[in-house]
């Protein structure tokens, strides 16, 4: 005696039919290029101008330091007066040479230099172009 109800048996039959009807398609291949990184710092020892000056002194072969934002508002270069600042700063770095693809090892090298300079990075976000279009949020004036 079977414990399967007629409704369950019908569902089983429909499921088998639908499974056989599914066309196997390959997903469209996308081009995903790593072109930069946002490095978030916990820092409370001065102004955006102070931090920008310190971060600018960190040299790498692959990255150009572009800007600093706080809560999505660009604060360096050209610090905006009366901007509420906190201890969570986002420093944006891009490949020095336009079109150059960054490797994870380059980001690790950058993070080591930031760490060796005494900064506490708390998070990173890799910046990708997806099929040639920015897959990240642009900052002000970018």
pLDDT tens digit string along 31-45? 999 999 999 999 999
Q: Which residue has the tokens 């499974």?
A: 19
Q: In this structure, is residue 27 part of a structural domain?
A: no
Q: Which domain covers residue 87, as residue numbers?
A: 32-134
Q: In this structure, is residue 52 part of a structural domain?
A: yes
Lowest mean pLDDT across 20-24, 84-88, 130-134? 20-24
Q: In this structure, is residue 4 part of a structural domain?
A: no
Asked if 110 and 63 count as a contact pair (C-beta separation under 8 A), the reply is: yes
Q: Which of 23, 22, 92, 24 is nearest to 56 (CA)?
A: 92
pLDDT tens digit string along 96-140? 998 899 999 999 999 999 999 999 999 999 999 999 999 999 876
pTM (predicted TM-score) = 0.78
Quick one: pLDDT band at residue 13, thresholds 50, 70, 90? low
| CATH number reported for the structural domain that contains residue 126 in this entry | 3.30.70.1570
Distances in Å between the alpha carbon of 101 and those of 12, 37, 61, 110, 134? 50, 12, 13, 15, 13
Tally of structural domains, the chain? 1
Q: In this structure, is residue 17 part of a structural domain?
A: no
Q: Where does the chain have alpha helices with state H?
A: 6-21, 48-56, 104-116
Q: In this structure, is residue 15 part of a structural domain?
A: no
**Is pLDDT of 8 > 90?**
no
Q: In this structure, is residue 25 part of a structural domain?
A: no
Q: In this structure, is residue 2 part of a structural domain?
A: no
Q: In this structure, is residue 9 part of a structural domain?
A: no
């Amino acid at each position: 005696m079977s414990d399967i109800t007629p409704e369950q048996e019908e569902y089983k039959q429909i499921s088998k039919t639908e499974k056989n009807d599914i066309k196997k398609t390959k997903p469209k291949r996308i081009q995903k290029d790593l072109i930069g990184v946002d490095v978030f710092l916990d820092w409370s020892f001065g102004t955006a101008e102070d931090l920008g000056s310190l971060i600018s002194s960190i040299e790498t072969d692959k990255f150009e330091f572009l800007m600093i934002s706080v809560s999505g508002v660009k604060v360096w270069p050209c610090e905006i007066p009366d901007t509420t600042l906190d201890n969570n700063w986002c420093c944006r770095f891009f490949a020095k040479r336009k079109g150059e693809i960054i490797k994870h090892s380059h980001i690790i090298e950058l993070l080591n230099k930031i760490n060796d300079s005494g900064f506490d990075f708390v998070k990173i976000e890799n910046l990708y172009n997806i099929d040639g279009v920015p897959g990240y949020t642009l900052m002000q004036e970018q």
